[in-house]
Chain A
Amino acid sequence: MSSTFETVAGIISETSDIPLEDITPEKNAFTDLDIDSLDFLDIAFAIDKSFGIKIPLEKWTEELNENKASADDYFVLSKLCDRIDALVAAKDS
Chain B
Amino acid sequence: MLLEYFQMIDSVEELDLDQGKIVAQANVPMESTVFQGHFPGAPLVPGVLLIETMAQASGFMLLSRLNFEKMPFLANVTSAKMRSFVEPGQVLRVEAELEHDGSGFAATRAQILRDGSKICDSKLMFRIMPFPSDMLKRAMLDRFNRINQTASA
Please list the residues of chain A having a beta carbon within 8 angstroms of any beta carbon in chain B: 38, 41-42, 44-45, 48-49, 54-59, 61
Q: How far is the CA of A80 from the CA of B127 in the complex (A)?
A: 21
Task: From the candidates B76, B78, B102, B107, name the one contacting A54 in the complex (CB within 8 A).
Answer: B102
- A53: min CB distance to chain B, Å: 10
Q: How far is the CA of A42 from the CA of B125 in the complex (A)?
A: 9
- Residues 42-82 of B, flagged 1 when their CB comes within 8 A of A and 0 if not, give 00000000000000000000000000000000011010000
Size category, B interface: 10 to 19
B residues in contact with A55, CB < 8 Å: 102-103
Interface contacts (Cβ under 8 Å), in number, total: 36
Please state if B75 and A38 are interface contacts (CB–CB under 8 Å): yes
Please state if B103 and A54 are interface contacts (CB–CB under 8 Å): yes
Task: From the candidates B76, B100, B104, name the one contacting A57 in the complex (CB within 8 A).
Answer: B104
Please state if B127 and A41 are interface contacts (CB–CB under 8 Å): yes
Given contacts A38-B75, A41-B127, A61-B104, 19 further A-B contacts (CB under 8 A): A41-B75, A41-B76, A41-B102, A41-B105, A41-B125, A42-B125, A44-B102, A44-B105, A45-B102, A45-B107, A48-B100, A48-B102, A54-B103, A55-B103, A56-B103, A57-B104, A57-B105, A58-B103, A59-B103
